[in-house]
Amino acid sequence: MDNFRKQYFEKRAELLLKNLRSRHFEAYYCPDRATALEKALDLIPRDASIGWGGAISAQQIGLMDALKSGGYNTYDRDTCSSPEERVRMMKKCLTADVFLTGANAISMDGEMVNIDGMGNRVAAIVYGPDSVIVIAGMNKVTDTLEDAVTRARTVAAPINKQRFGQDTPCGVTGVCADCKSEGCICNQILITRNCRPAGRIKFILVGEELGF
C-alpha cells in the first residue's frame, strides 16, 4: 500500500476510534492484516464458543483458519452436510460466546450499517452472543450515515449477490433496483448506533481494503 493511502486511513481511523468509543464500543486500529489477526485472537478466550455469519473480512485476515487450526470451539455452518443442519448451526451461533462479523459500512461518527437476507447476522449483532467482534477494512468507512446506508445497498449488497447467485436485479446488472425479489438479500437493514452493554461490540479497524 502506498504511504499516502496509509496516512489517509490512519488519520480517519483516529477520529473514528474516538467516535466509536464515545458510543460505548471498544475500538482498535491495526495497520495491516497480521496485526488485526493478533488483536482478534487476543480478544477471544481460548474456552469460548465462536460463531460467525458471512464474515469475509475475518476470513481475509486469516482468523477462521487460525481458529480452526488452534482447536477453538467453532460453530462453522460450512461444515454442515445438509440445509437443515446448516440452519441449526446458524441458530447455535446466536448463543455463541463470541460472534464474528464484518460491517457493510461504518459512518465517521461511529454508526455501523449491516444488511442481511436471512437476518441471522444482524440478529447476533443485536442480541445473544456475549461478545461481538467486527473486523472492518477502512474502505468500509463513509463520511455520513446516509452514505453508509447507500454503500451497504449499492456496493456491498450487489457484490455479495454475485457470491450467492444471480437471481435478483442487482445480481444480473450489478445495480440495486430496490427489489422485492424472493432472493433479495436486503431484507433487514440494521443501524447500530450505540453499544449496550458497553464494550460488548468490539471494532477492529484495519488499514487495508477488506471485504466489499
Distance CA 54, CA 32 (A): 21
- 114 phi/psi in degrees, rounded to 5: -135, 145
Beta strands in the chain (DSSP E): 26-30, 49-52, 73-75, 98-101, 105-107, 112-116, 131-137, 141-142, 188-192, 201-206
The answer, yes or no, to whether residue 142 has pLDDT greater than 90, is: yes
The x, y and z cell numbers of residue 184, run together, are 433479495
Number of H helices and E strands in the chain, helices first, is 9, 10
**Which pLDDT score is estimated for 92?**
95
**Which pLDDT score is estimated for 198?**
98
DSSP helix/strand/coil, 133: strand
SS3 of 145-171:
HHHHHHHHHHHHHHHHHHHHCCCCHHH
The answer, yes or no, to whether residue 85 has pLDDT greater than 80, is: yes
pLDDT tier for residue 136 given thresholds of 50, 70 and 90: very high
Q: How many CB atoms neighbour CB 162 within 10 A?
A: 12
Of 102, 138, 107, 135, residue with least CA distance to 9: 138
Q: What is the pLDDT of residues 74-83, one digit of tens each?
A: 999 888 889 9
Q: Cβ(101)–Cβ(132) under 8 Å? A: yes
Q: What is the pTM of this model?
A: 0.95
Domain spans in the chain, listed from the N-terminal domain onward: 3-206
Average pLDDT, the chain: 95
Lowest mean pLDDT among 52-66, 87-101, 154-168, 198-212: 154-168
Q: What is the pLDDT of residues 104-122, one digit of tens each?
A: 999 999 999 999 999 999 9
DSSP helix/strand/coil, 185: coil
Superfamily of domain 3-206: NagB/RpiA/CoA transferase-like (3.40.50.10420)
Q: Cβ(157)–Cβ(115) under 8 Å? A: yes
pLDDT tier for residue 15 given thresholds of 50, 70 and 90: very high
